[in-house]
């Protein structure tokens, strides 16, 4: 993944310093804002590729900043970082326009994976992806093994597309359901399991021992291939 311009909006100095250090070590260019008004100014002046946004901010709170941002830019990726872990608060952030939500405390490796996935989603989709004997064409929504096209249902394609956009990071079933089935509560995780099983039957060389879409016990599903650094 090439370097990106990342704006960290966080009023806690210790957390802010840790985030900046981690992101700069990974090759990104990082700017910071300590309150909501400063965040709005830096977004206007600096045009970041990604915003890490705390919700509990002085001057202007994070939800207000997010709503302001979405009125001027629908596509800029935003990852909320907040100690607000309640479900209704997460839903409020996502409905205000966040692309992802990470509750404090979180590990820096998980943060890195989320940043990696959001930046990848912001890039144009590749013409084709070659992985595990498959050729995946995101534009045409086609999957082939050799010369034979694999028929996917619309739901299976949405599921595969979601995992392609979030590689190498375990994703809880609730989050998968919320995104693919447009259910912010992610309530019916059994539906996810059923469709993952069907998708594996079609795309895995050996569905009994999957290598592309694997289960991380207690953490969710992870797409392990198909996208190169």
Q: What is the pLDDT of residue 152?
A: 95
Final residue belonging to a domain, choices 62, 93, 122: 122
Is the same domain home to 56 and 143? no
How many other C-beta atoms can be found within 10 angstroms of the C-beta atom of residue 57? 23
Domain of residue 80, CATH code = 3.40.50.2300
Confidence of residue 39 (pLDDT cuts 50, 70, 90): very high
Q: Is residue 229 part of a domain?
A: no
CATH code, domain carrying 152: 1.10.10.10
Residue range 68-77: mean pLDDT, rounded: 92
CA distance 67 to 62: 9
Residues 200 and 141 occupy one common structural domain: yes
The residue from 122, 155, 186 where one domain ends is 122
Same-domain status, 106 and 9: yes
Rounded Cα distance between 1 and 174, Å, is 27
pLDDT at 149 over 90: yes
Single residue among 122, 150, 183 that ends a domain in this structure: 122
% of the chain with per-residue pLDDT over 70: 92
Domain count within the chain: 2
Structural domain of residue 161, as residue ranges?
129-223
pLDDT greater at residue 180 or residue 186: 180
Whether the pLDDT of residue 204 is over 90: the answer is yes
The predicted model gives 131-152 an average pLDDT of 90
pTM for this prediction: 0.57
Task: Answer yes or no: is 30 within a domain.
Answer: yes
Mean pLDDT of 7-34: 93
């Amino acid at each position: 993944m090439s370097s990106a311009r990342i704006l960290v909006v966080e009023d806690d100095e210790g957390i802010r310093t840790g985030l900046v250090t981690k992101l700069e070590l990974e090759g990104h260019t990082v700017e910071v804002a300590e309150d909501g008004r400063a965040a709005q100014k830096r977004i206007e002046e600096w045009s970041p590729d990604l915003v890490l946004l705390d919700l509990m901010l002085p001057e202007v709170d994070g939800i207000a900043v997010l709503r302001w941002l979405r009125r001027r830019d629908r596509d800029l990726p935003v990852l909320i970082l907040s100690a607000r872990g309640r479900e209704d608060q997460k839903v409020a952030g996502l409905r205000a326009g966040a692309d992802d939500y990470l509750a404090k405390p979180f590990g820096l490796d998980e943060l890195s994976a989320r940043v990696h996935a959001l930046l990848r989603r912001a890039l144009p989709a590749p013409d084709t992806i070659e992985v595990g004997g498959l050729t995946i064409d995101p534009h045409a929504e086609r999957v082939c093994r050799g010369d034979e096209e694999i028929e996917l249902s619309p739901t299976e394609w949405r599921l595969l597309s979601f995992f392609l956009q979030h590689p190498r990071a375990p994703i809880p079933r609730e989050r998968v359901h919320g995104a693919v089935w447009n259910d912010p509560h992610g309530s019916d995780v059994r539906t996810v399991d059923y469709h993952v099983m069907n998708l594996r039957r079609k795309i895995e060389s050996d569905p009994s021992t999957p290598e592309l879409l694997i289960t991380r016990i207690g953490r969710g599903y992870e797409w392990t291939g198909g996208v190169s650094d």
